């Protein structure tokens, strides 16, 4: 039986036949990070205390990348996209759709995806942005895969997770300035009739946390004013401390639920790529699932927390290292402000 059939057992025969013969696979995956390396020592000097020891011992973070003053979200997205296109052997004109997942957009309006489309020369591609904070890449992957499954006019879709949070950091706020960083990951989704590709997804939101962490200025609720800038209220802030168990508990449940819905056992999973804001949440989730750290790959030790970019960045590096192989069952588990959660599974 085609593995995709498990996901759509209650569809009628014609719908099932369509989904079994047309699916989306990840044809290429690439990452890009700014050249500027910011070590923990920088924050020791900036904050006048030893934060390096805590960062290394508790989060494994040694350094991260920040944009140059004249470097922006679109610059990172375009660089990652160009690498992915080259890897896939595609010209930009072959793209029918570009989806950019970010909560640090080039502008409030228009979308960052329009900028990326123009710079790439992807003249045949429609565009839009997705903002589910750090769950954005997995959400965008889900959307892109379903475009390909549902509509035969889409054969190549570019999905980008990108983050330039250094532009929104308060250099005096120890809780945020040492964690957040910049980067981009780009995936080319391609239509396939082979027995592989997108399997399914789950999205979940805990909206009661929407005002606990975020960038709360610049929209219609709190337009930018000189007084707001003077008070640094236009920058990223943690308003309240999240319960420690929130991510491990939710991640564990969502992965178990999706695995069961797809008809697999947890032991069938080869790799899981997580949001990388806290290494201990990753360790606890894998322990809950009966898996070890060999079932994941992390980049936060060298790149810090790159939000919607961290999952595709980790995936790109893992693929390059040979940790992901043809036929592997791969899960993605993203979460971010809102709180938004998204998990998805693919057969590599």
Alpha carbon 15 to its chain centroid, in Å, reads: 30
130 and 15, same structural domain? yes
d(Cα 330, Cα 319) in Å, to the nearest integer? 11
207 and 172, same structural domain? no
325 and 298, same structural domain? yes
Q: Are the beta carbons of 32 and 206 closer than 8 angstroms?
A: no
- Res 243: pLDDT: 78
328 and 246, same structural domain? yes
- Helices and strands counted in the chain (H then E): 12, 13
Phi, psi of 260 (to 5 degrees): -65, -40
Q: Where residue 6 falls among pLDDT bands split at 50, 70, 90? A: very low
143 and 227, same structural domain? no
Q: How many residues does the chain have?
A: 348
176 and 207, same structural domain? no
319 and 263, same structural domain? yes
Q: Where among 194, 215, 235 does a domain terminate?
A: 194
Other beta carbons within 10 angstroms of residue 283's beta carbon come to 14
Q: Strand 36-39 vs strand 23-32: parallel, antiparallel, or unpaired?
A: unpaired
The sign one gets for the Cα dihedral 253, 254, 255, 258 is positive
Q: Are the beta carbons of 75 and 44 closer than 8 angstroms?
A: no
**Quick one: which of 341, 343, 344, 337 has its CA closest to 103?**
337
CATH number at residue 118: 3.40.47.10
Average per-residue pLDDT in the chain? 92
164 and 42, same structural domain? yes
DSSP 122-143: -TT-EEEEE-BTBTHHHHHHHH
Asked if pLDDT for residue 296 goes beyond 70, the answer is yes
Q: Where residue 325 falls among pLDDT bands split at 50, 70, 90? A: very high
89: domain range? 3-194
133 and 37, same structural domain? yes
245 and 117, same structural domain? no
Q: For the chain, where are the E strands, in sequence order?
A: 23-32, 36-39, 63-66, 97-101, 126-130, 156-164, 182-192, 197-205, 213-214, 237-238, 271-274, 329-336, 340-347
How big is the CA angle at 113 (ends 18 and 182), to the nearest 5 degrees?
A: 110
212 and 185, same structural domain? no
- Res 228: pLDDT: 81
Percentage with pLDDT > 90 across the chain: 80
Per the structure, the count of domains in the chain is 2
Asked if pLDDT for residue 2 goes beyond 70, the answer is no
**Quick one: which of 127, 48, 42, 46 has its CA closest to 81?**
127
């Amino acid at each position: 039986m085609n593995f995709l059939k498990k996901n759509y057992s209650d569809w009628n025969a014609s719908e099932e036949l369509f989904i079994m013969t047309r699916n989306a696979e990840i044809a290429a995956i690439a990452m890009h990070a700014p050249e500027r390396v910011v070590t923990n020592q920088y924050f020791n000097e900036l904050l006048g205390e030893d934060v390096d020891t805590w960062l290394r011992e508790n989060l494994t973070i040694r350094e991260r990348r920040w944009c140059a003053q004249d470097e922006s979200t679109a610059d990172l997205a375009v660089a990652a996209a160009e690498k992915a296109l080259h890897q896939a052997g595609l010209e930009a004109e072959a793209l029918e759709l570009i989806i950019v997942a970010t909560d640090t957009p080039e502008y409030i309006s228009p979308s960052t995806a329009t900028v990326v489309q123009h710079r790439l020369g992807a003249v045949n591609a429609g565009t839009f942005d997705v903002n589910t904070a750090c769950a954005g890449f997995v959400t965008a992957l889900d959307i892109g895969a379903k475009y390909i499954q549902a509509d035969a006019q889409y054969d190549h879709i570019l999905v980008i997770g990108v983050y330039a949070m250094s532009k929104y950091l308060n250099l005096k706020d120890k809780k945020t300035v040492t964690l957040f960083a910049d980067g981009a990951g780009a995936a080319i989704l391609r239509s396939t009739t082979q027995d592989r590709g997108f399997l399914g997804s789950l999205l979940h939101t805990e909206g009661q946390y929407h005002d606990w962490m975020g960038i709360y200025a610049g929209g219609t609720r709190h337009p930018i004013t000189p007084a707001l800038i003077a008070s640094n209220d236009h920058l990223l802030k943690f308003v309240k401390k999240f319960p420690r168990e929130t991510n491990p508990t939710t991640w564990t449940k969502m992965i178990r639920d999706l695995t069961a819905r797809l008809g697999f056992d947890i032991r069938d999973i080869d790799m899981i790529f997580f949001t990388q804001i806290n290494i201990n949440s990753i360790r606890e989730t894998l322990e809950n699932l009966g898996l070890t750290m060999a079932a994941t790959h992390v980049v936060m030790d060298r790149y810090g927390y790159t939000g919607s970019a961290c999952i595709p960045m980790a995936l790109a590096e893992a693929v390059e290292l040979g940790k992901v192989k043809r036929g592997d069952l791969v899960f993605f588990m993203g979460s971010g402000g809102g709180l938004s959660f998204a998990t998805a599974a693919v057969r590599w």
